C-alpha cells in the first residue's frame, strides 16, 4: 500500500471479534512506512460504542465495557473529541503515544494508549484499544489509568493471560523511556503546530467498511 501524504485524512478503525468497535477520522502528519504521526484536533467527530436502547446499561464503567464486549451488540454513536492530540505510532508496537495540547497550543503532557499493533488498510489503520493506559505529566511523573477496565477483561475471559502479559511488558518498556526522558518524552514534539490550512478531519462515507 502507498504511503499517505501530510494533510490526508485516514480512518482509525478499532475491531473486536471482527466487528467495528470505533472509528475515528485523523489527519496524517508523517508516514514513514513503519512510523506514523497523526493529528486528531479537538472537535473531531468520531464513532464510539454505546449500549443499545433496548436494554439498560451497567452503571460502572468497567462493567459497561465488559458487558458490551461480551454481548457484541453495541451500536455506534457520534462523540466529539475534546483534547487536541498528536498520535505517534510505530509498526509492531503494542501502544501509541498521544502528545496532548491545551487550547492555547501549549504542550499538556503525554498519554500512553496500550493497543494492538496497527494494521494498514485502504482507508487507514485497524487496531483495538486494550483499555489499560498511562498518563504522563509534563514533569514526567505518571500514573495508571483504567486499570479496572483492564482487570475486568481478564476476569471475564475477554483477554487471555498471554496478551495481558504482553501488554504489561510493553507498558514497562515505555515507562523506562519516560524515566530516561527518551523520545518522544524529551519534549521533542512540545512546540509542534498543525498546518494552518488543515480543517477538522471528517469520516468518509466508507468509514464502516472493513
Q: What phi and psi values does residue 147 have, to the nearest 5 degrees?
A: -60, -35
Per-residue pLDDT of 66-81, as tens digits, reads 999 999 999 999 999 9
Is this model's pTM higher than 0.85 or not? yes
pLDDT of amino acid 50: 97
Q: Are strands 129-137 and 124-127 parallel, antiparallel or unpaired?
A: unpaired
pLDDT mean over 165-193: 96
Cα 15 from Cα 28, distance rounded (Å): 21
Task: List, in order of start, the domains of the chain with CATH numbers.
Answer: 9-179 (2.40.380.10)
118, three cell numbers? 496497527
pLDDT tens digit string along 29-58? 999 978 999 999 999 999 999 999 999 988
For the chain, what is the radius of gyration of the CA atoms? 17
Burial class (CB in 10 A: 0-12, 13-18, 19+), 194: middle
Share of the chain above pLDDT 90, in %: 93
> How far is residue 156 from each of residues 48, 64, 76, 126, 202, measured CA to CA in Å?
22, 12, 23, 24, 35
Amino acid at each position: 500500500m502507498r504511503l499517505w501524504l501530510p494533510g490526508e485524512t485516514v480512518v482509525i478503525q478499532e475491531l473486536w471479534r471482527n466487528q467495528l468497535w470505533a472509528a475515528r477520522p485523523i489527519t496524517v502528519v508523517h508516514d514513514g512506512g513503519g512510523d506514523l504521526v497523526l493529528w486528531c484536533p479537538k472537535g473531531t467527530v468520531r464513532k464510539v460504542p454505546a449500549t443499545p436502547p433496548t436494554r439498560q446499561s451497567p452503571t460502572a464503567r468497567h462493567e459497561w465495557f465488559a458487558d458490551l464486549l461480551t454481548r457484541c451488540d453495541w451500536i455506534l454513536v457520534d462523540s466529539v473529541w475534546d483534547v487536541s492530540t498528536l498520535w505517534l505510532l510505530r509498526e509492531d508496537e503494542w501502544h501509541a503515544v498521544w502528545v496532548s495540547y491545551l487550547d492555547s497550543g501549549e504542550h499538556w503532557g503525554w498519554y500512553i494508549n496500550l493497543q494492538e499493533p496497527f494494521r494498514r488498510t485502504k482507508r487507514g489503520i485497524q487496531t483495538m484499544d486494550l483499555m489499560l493506559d498511562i498518563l504522563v505529566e509534563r514533569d514526567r511523573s505518571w500514573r495508571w489509568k483504567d486499570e479496572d477496565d483492564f482487570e475486568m477483561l481478564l476476569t471475564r475471559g475477554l483477554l487471555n493471560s498471554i496478551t495481558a502479559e504482553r501488554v504489561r511488558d510493553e507498558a514497562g518498556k515505555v515507562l523506562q523511556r519516560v524515566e530516561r526522558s527518551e523520545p518522544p518524552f524529551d519534549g521533542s514534539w512540545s512546540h509542534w503546530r498543525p498546518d494552518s490550512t488543515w480543517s477538522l478531519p471528517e469520516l468518509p462515507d466508507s468509514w464502516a467498511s472493513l
